Structure 1
Amino acid sequence: MNIYTLIIFLYFTIFIIDSAPINSKSNSISIKKISPKHSLKEVHQFYKDYFMLKYQNIYATDQDKLASAKKRLSESVNLTISNFLGYYGEFTIGNQAFKTIFDLGSSDLWVPSQKCTQHSCRIHKRFNESLSKTFNPIGTPFSIEYGAGAVTGITGKDNVLVGGIETVGQIFGLVKEEIGKLFALQEFDGIFGMGFDANSKIKATTPFSNMVEQKAVTNPYFGIYLQRSNDTGHTGTLTLGDIDTTKFIGNLNYNNVSTYEGEYKSWILDVDDISINGIKLNFKNRQALFDTGNNLVFMSYEDAATYHKFINGSSLNNDGIYTVPCNTTDQVAYIIGGVSYNIDQSDLTTGSDCSSSVQPGGGGDMWLIGDAFLGNVYSVYNIKDFTIGFAPVSK
């Protein structure tokens, strides 16, 4: 896991459902969005560096660029602190409650340990081994680098309860040191990875995989609903092992997740195209990483330029940021698996300066798609069939 799994963001043939979709509020938890506190102008370079490092293997960026990005991030730590992005909620481990980011872009569970005495740990909830009768130490050391910081610690095993679902013997990280100031002012205590097992940095089965293997959930998928940018509250819902049919209209359409280096590591899909005002832009052979830790859609400079040629009144300012009219009426749709998903016009811009929700910063033919798209769909992530399903959200 990279922290690049935390900001801005994080993240998805036919999918066969063993039983009919149901509204399972008992298996759902409320998640709350952490929103950026700076303008896009102030953090644009930061975002690009962040995602370059988060997905450095997939983007295959050269080492000089990675080193430069890491240096810039380390020098902008104050900006980093106030611009974590993502959705957090509550869970318990060893009967101790924590606030955690539920992150599509990572695959590990970790929380601060009582043995971490740094300020960034002391102002958050810390796991106390002596308070859990079900805790078992493992002691395998781990270190996870986050560009502008890092965490180190050892592994342990305990029972996890989230959304009314309990799993036994989950391996997780007990952080003993937080290097840098990255976590000092965050609203969450730790990270709860929702990715694939192959992406685990502590070499553990993910919490959701354990739910499936232990039959704590009926189905091997989870659903995510995010409020659109013009909604109030900046909240969402994570439903484990079921589908909340009250959150979408029509049918869910499923698409195969792509592998990377022969393994399922990230929620990656093929993207057919984008249409603007009924005109297809003729993008070919594009793929996208889906990440709830990202507000925007990042593309290569060439693709972002093509996109904005079709957005009436768009322009590229001196800071390298695209802006669009605040009252834009353009009709934008992303075409995935032959299905068009319309984007609410409020999601074509972001911030008071009406920056475009599509910005340059992706790598080659790989896009990074965040809430500007995901807030318009109900999405379902299947870890056994390796598919992602989308349906338009209920309005």
Structure 2
Amino acid sequence: MGVGTPPQNLTVCFDTGSASMWVPSMTCTTESCNRHSKFEYKSSSTYQAASVSFTITYKNGHVGGNVGSDTLTITDSPLVLTNQTLGLTDSSSLDFTNASCDGIFGLALPALAKDAWQMPAFFRMIQQGMLRDPVFSVWMDPNPNAVPAGEVLFGGADPSRFTGHLHFIRVISQKHWVVPMNSTVYVNEDPVELRAFQAVLDTGSSVITASTADANTINAAIPGLEYAAEDNLWVVQGGCQNVTSLPNITLLLAGTPYVLTPEQYVLQVYHRPGNEVTELFCMSSIVGGGPLYTIVLGANFHRAYYTVYAYDARTNTPTVGLAANVRSWSASASPDRTPIQNLTYMAHGLKVPSEAPPPGADSTDLEGTLLAAAPFVDESAWQLLSQSDGPMHVPGQPTNLAAVKPADAALKNVDVQLHSAAQSAQIQDSTGHA
């Protein structure tokens, strides 16, 4: 991503679990900043400082600095977003030292932004009529070591990156991309009961995170895994050669089954006692420490399923579309990315939740806001996720975001490559997303 005029190239992690955008500032002298590219704001003719400072505290680490605005240039066939506010960090903790990117490009929903400057850039793209359709799509290479690691496409979806049909699910949070989930998951055909009843799609997480109780329940139900108390991990018995003998896991999101094979939910990692790298071992990517009633679906899930994040400006409705990923990286076979309007023939309509939260349950989203059961949405409600001349406004947010008719806009469909498979495992905030 280019920042400023002329553009200065910095890398960012596209994070659907965060609203904020920030990059290291030229004034930052911490070790974590020195390991990354910094934004030389004094060299940008379009930079404007704001009299606002910020601090973001994550589960592991923190960043802080000052807010400014400048021009963003995304990819070589550029999507140019002017006057985008972003944080310039002048301090960051050691937790970010080995992050695979210089900064964060937040792609959560607008209500997560606690301050006006944190409004996600995707929604400003919609405001300025820059996208063919108000969507962005994520494809991650099923190979976790692939370079590039995948692709983010703004303004459409690429059918060469997935197989079968896209199934669209209505999002049930105003802050995160949360979808309803059946509390029963399946290990092969055996049911496993959890407390979680919703899942959040989070590209910034490197693993699948659940509450400690739910993570232990799932892992204990998988024959061939054993608990390694010294590392607080569930590992494959007998080593990585036994991964293929493990069972599949099936999640039901709004009634539709999504299967993860053992190759998709097991991670190959090296044991590093001290500074020495020793043997390779395989561990379950389903880890504890997450929200009580929520499962966070991170990079492992995105490597298995192509994900379309969409926003209907007329009804203020976010939705998520899912389809099985293609198996390997290749140049796109589509000379022109398919707009979301043309994806309706592939989709089976918006899915409805297979079950609502139990009566009286203290169901909360990741920020502690009470969630109502998701309304049922049938296919007639799927009237193309297109821009309109109605206001796009999230309660409690500034009302200066107005949707633009496609005819008034220079419509674009822009893709960017994910530069690293690491997906910033070190970056975790208080919601548990990485």
TM-score, normalised by the number of residues in structure 1? 0.69
Residue 307 (structure 1) shift: 2.2
Partner of 1:388: 320
Partner of 2:177: 267
Comparing 280-289 with 355-364, greater Cα deviation is found at 280-289
Quick check: 1:107–1:196 contact (8 Å CA) kept in 2? yes
**Cα separation, partners in 2 of 1:156 and 1:233, compared to 1, 3 Å:** closer
In the alignment, is residue 228 of structure 1 matched against residue 142 of structure 2?
Answer: yes
Which residue, 91, 94, 116 being the options, matches 1:181? 94
Which residue, 307, 327, 331 being the options, matches 1:379? 307
More helix per residue: 1
Report 1:5-24 matches (<5 A).
Answer: none
Partner of 2:255: 338
Corresponding residue SS for 2:245: coil
Counterpart-to-counterpart distance in 1, 2:296 and 2:179: 11
Partner of 1:194: 107
Partner of 1:121: 33
Q: Structure 1: which amino acid aligns with 2:258?
A: Y
Counterpart-to-counterpart distance in 2, 1:375 and 1:221: 19
Partner of 1:323: 235
**Cα separation, partners in 2 of 1:153 and 1:201, compared to 1, 3 Å:** farther
In the alignment, is residue 357 of structure 1 matched against residue 285 of structure 2?
Answer: yes
Residue 179 (structure 1) shift: 4.3
Counterpart-to-counterpart distance in 2, 1:282 and 1:187: 36
Which residue, 7, 16, 22 being the options, matches 1:104? 16
CA distances 1:310-336 after superposition (whole Å, capped 9, x unpaired):
422222232332223423241322211
**Cα separation, partners in 2 of 1:222 and 1:322, compared to 1, 3 Å:** same
Quick check: 2:204–2:298 contact (8 Å CA) kept in 1? yes
Partner of 2:342: none
Corresponding residue SS for 2:116: coil
Counterpart-to-counterpart distance in 1, 2:260 and 2:96: 33
Partner of 1:276: 187
Residue 178 (structure 1) shift: 1.0
CA distances 1:122-151 after superposition (whole Å, capped 9, x unpaired):
443322333222222222122222355433
CA distances 1:258-316 after superposition (whole Å, capped 9, x unpaired):
22xxxx11121111242222233344761122222323222234323432354222222
CA distances 1:184-231 after superposition (whole Å, capped 9, x unpaired):
444422211111222225432211111111011111110001112467
CA distances 1:150-206 after superposition (whole Å, capped 9, x unpaired):
33222212111113211121111122x214323344442221111122222543221
Q: Structure 1: which amino acid aligns with 2:233?
A: I
Residue 365 (structure 1) shift: 1.9
Partner of 1:93: 4
**Cα separation, partners in 2 of 1:361 and 1:149, compared to 1, 3 Å:** closer
Percentage of identical aligned residues: 26
Q: Which runs of 4+ in 1 moved over 6 A?
A: none
Corresponding residue SS for 1:250: strand
Unaligned runs of 5+ in 2: 237-241, 269-279, 328-434
CA distances 1:61-107 after superposition (whole Å, capped 9, x unpaired):
xxxxxxxxxxxxxxxxxxxxxxxxxxxxx343332221111111111
Counterpart-to-counterpart distance in 2, 1:230 and 1:157: 34
Partner of 1:295: 206
CA RMSD of aligned residues (A): 2.4
Q: Structure 2: which amino acid aligns with 1:343?
A: L
Counterpart-to-counterpart distance in 2, 1:97 and 1:258: 36
Quick check: 2:215–2:287 contact (8 Å CA) kept in 1? yes
Of structures 1 and 2, the larger Rg is shown by 2
**Cα separation, partners in 2 of 1:113 and 1:322, compared to 1, 3 Å:** closer
Residue 233 (structure 1) shift: 3.5
Instruction: Tell me the matched-pair count.
Output: 301
Counterpart-to-counterpart distance in 2, 1:329 and 1:118: 44
Counterpart-to-counterpart distance in 2, 1:116 and 1:168: 24
Q: Structure 2: which amino acid aligns with 1:312?
A: P
Which residue, 11, 25, 42 being the options, matches 1:130? 42
Counterpart-to-counterpart distance in 1, 2:189 and 2:64: 51
In the alignment, is residue 141 of structure 1 matched against residue 53 of structure 2?
Answer: yes
Report 1:146-157 matches (<5 A).
Answer: 146-157=58-69
Partner of 1:160: 72
**Cα separation, partners in 2 of 1:125 and 1:317, compared to 1, 3 Å:** closer
Partner of 2:351: none
**Cα separation, partners in 2 of 1:285 and 1:343, compared to 1, 3 Å:** closer
Q: Structure 2: which amino acid aligns with 1:389?
A: G
